[in-house]
Every structure is written in C-alpha cells, then in structure tokens.
C-alpha cells in the first residue's frame, strides 16, 4: 500500500526548485515552467514505503527532489533484487508504457515532484526540444547502467564495493555525522547490508569482509551500518580498478 503526503509547491514556481539546475526543467521556457507548475505537485513518502509496485498501472512520473529511491524486480522465485538507485534530480517512472516493470521503493524519506503520466507525455510530444533532451538524458542513464553492469560482471567484490562507495560519496549530500569531532567526509549509504550485498551481487558475509579490509587499510572508517568516513579517496579509486574519470561519469549520469 502506498503511503504518501501531498503538498503544493511552497514557492509556487518550478524555477525555485532545489533541483531546477539539474533537471529537465532548466531548459524550459517561462511558458513551459508555468505549464509544469500547473501539472506537478510535491509528494512525500516515508522510508520503506512503496511508490509504485512492479506490474502496477503507471499513472505518475516525475523527479526525485530529496532522498533515494530503490528500484527492484521480483524473480520467478519471489525474491526481490535491487537493479538501480535514483538520487535527487533523477527521473522516476516509465513513460509510454502501461505497467511498471520495476518496483519503486523509498530507501530513505523521499520527496518527489510528481506529474500525471498522460499529462507529461502530452507535454513532451508538444515540445520536441524538451523531448529531445529527455531522450539524451535517458541514453546517458542507459550508458551508466551498462557501465555498472560491466563492473558487476567483470570485477571482484572489492572493486564493486569501492565503486559503490565512491559513487555514493559523489551522489549523496554528505553531512557531518553527529558525534564526529572532525570536519570529515561522511558517506551515507541508505541501504541495509543485505540490500548492498544484493545490489553488488555478493553475500552479506563477503561484503562485511571487504568493508573490514578497507577499514584496516585506512581507506574508510566504518561508523555504523550506513555511514562511512572516506579517509583516502585515491586509494578507494585504486581498489575500484577504474579511473577517476570513469567513476565520475558513472556517478554523474
């Protein structure tokens, strides 16, 4: 069952949205923004709630404003497997399809900018330039998914974990962790250890061993199950087996 709270945009203007410069809205005209403001609203979901279930009729789309959304798919044996994560400014929902192919779940408390799917589809069809940018953005996302697939298929668990930690260090807003006296770089991964292991294609036990290896090498400091202090970014990149440029491309796609 979906649990959500709705509100109108507090500023009343899409141009003042906190993800405006990172979303599709940034290329729209004043008229386009006015139209988006009329058909959109903010909706909040508490952590753990289902935004849209796999196989459910697709009726909403939009952008993540705050928080992290987890995409998962159910296998034939009924187990859920995480196939992706959405961060602020990422687009959620499936355009031009009747059913959702994935389950969208709030990995943290989430705020979404929600639009009716039919209304947004008409908006794109009537504005070819924006539809073109949307198409380019989805191709970039597809490239990033393929690069991540290459990493998970051809790299060791350590390399996958190092890549994940680096991506999260870039893609989440890392605030000073309560209780830490230093001005440190805190990486927040809003997933359980079991979810992380599933996403990386390994077991929780192997994941824990690799985390401890990075901690002993003073690459990270393990604060708790979901918070790590990044001590040595260069060493984290070396453990990933990737270049900084490749990791940055995955993190910003």
For each of the domains in the chain, give its residue range(s) and CATH number, in order of start: 5-127 (2.60.120.10), 149-252 (1.10.10.10)
Q: Is the pLDDT of residue 223 over 50?
A: yes
Helix/strand/coil for 72: strand
Token pair 């796609």 in the structure block, residue: 253
Distant-in-sequence, close-in-space partners of 120: CB < 8 Å, separation ≥ 6? 39, 61, 62, 95
Positive or negative, the Cα torsion across 56, 132, 83, 71? negative
Give the whole-number percent of the chain exceeding pLDDT 70. 85
Q: What is the pLDDT of residue 174?
A: 40
| Cα–Cα distance for residue pair 117/160, rounded to 1 Å | 35
Residue 251 is predicted with a pLDDT of 77
- Orientation angle between helical segments 157-171 and 128-154, nearest 10 degrees: 150
Average pLDDT of the segment spanning 205-214:
96
| Cα separations in angstroms, 91 against 25, 86, 226, 248 | 11, 8, 24, 19
Whether 219 has a pLDDT exceeding 50, the answer reads yes
Distance CA(72)–CA(82), nearest Å, equals 4
pTM of the model: 0.79
For position 60, what pLDDT does the model report?
A: 92
Asked if residue 208 has pLDDT above 70, the reply is: yes
Confidence band (pLDDT; 50, 70, 90) for 50? very high
Residue 196: which of 26, 81, 40 has the closest Cα?
81
Q: What are phi and psi of 112, to 5 degrees?
A: -120, 150
């Amino acid at each position: 069952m979906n649990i959500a709270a709705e509100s109108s945009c507090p500023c009343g203007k899409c141009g003042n949205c906190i993800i405006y410069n990172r979303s599709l809205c940034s290329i729209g005209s004043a008229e386009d923004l006015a139209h988006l403001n009329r058909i959109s609203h903010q909706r909040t979901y508490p952590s753990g709630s289902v935004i849209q279930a796999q196989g459910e009729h697709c009726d909403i789309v939009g952008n993540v404003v705050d928080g992290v959304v987890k995409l998962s798919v159910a296998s034939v044996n009924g187990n859920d497997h995480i196939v992706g994560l959405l961060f602020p400014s990422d687009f959620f929902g499936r355009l031009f399809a009747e059913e959702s192919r994935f389950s969208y779940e709030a990995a943290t408390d989430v705020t979404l900018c929600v639009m009716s799917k039919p209304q947004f589809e008409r908006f794109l069809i009537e504005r070819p330039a924006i539809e073109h940018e949307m198409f380019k953005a989805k191709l970039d996302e597809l490239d990033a998914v393929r690069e991540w697939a290459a990493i998970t298929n051809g790299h060791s668990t350590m390399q996958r974990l190092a890549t994940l930690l680096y991506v999260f260090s870039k893609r989440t807003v890392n605030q000073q962790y309560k209780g830490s006296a230093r001005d440190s770089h805190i990486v927040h991964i809003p997933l359980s250890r079991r979810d992380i292991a599933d996403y990386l294609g390994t077991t929780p036990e192997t994941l824990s061993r690799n985390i401890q290896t990075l901690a002993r090498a003073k690459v990270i400091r393990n604060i708790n199950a979901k918070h790590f202090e990044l001590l040595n970014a260069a060493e984290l990149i070396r453990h990933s087996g990737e270049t900084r440029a490749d990791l940055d491309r995955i993190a910003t796609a």
